[in-house]
Structure 1
Amino acid sequence: MRKDLLIVAFIALLIIILASGTNIQSVEEYYLTHIDDINEDSKTVFIRIDASTVLENWQQLDPALRSEKYVPNDGVILENTEYVLRPNDTVFDILQRTIRHNKIHMEFQGADENAYNSVYIQGINHLYEFSAGPLSGWMYAVNGEFPNYGVSKYELEDGDEIEFLYTCDLGRDLGHHYLE
Structure 2
Amino acid sequence: MSAKKREVLSKLNETVNLDLLKKALLHESLYAGLTEHRHIAVRILSQVKSGLANDVLHLAEVLDLVPSEVKSAVDKLVASGLLSLKEGRLELTAKGQEVFTKMAAIHDKISEQIFKDFDSEELDQFLTYLAKIKANLAGISESELAQLKEKMRELPTHPSQFFKK
Answer with 1 or 2: which has the greater Rg. Answer: 1
Greater share of residues in strand: 1
Normalising by structure 2, report the TM-score: 0.22
Q: Which has the higher contact order (CA 8 A, sep 6+)?
A: 1
User: What TM-score, normalized to structure 1?
Assistant: 0.21
More helix by share: 2
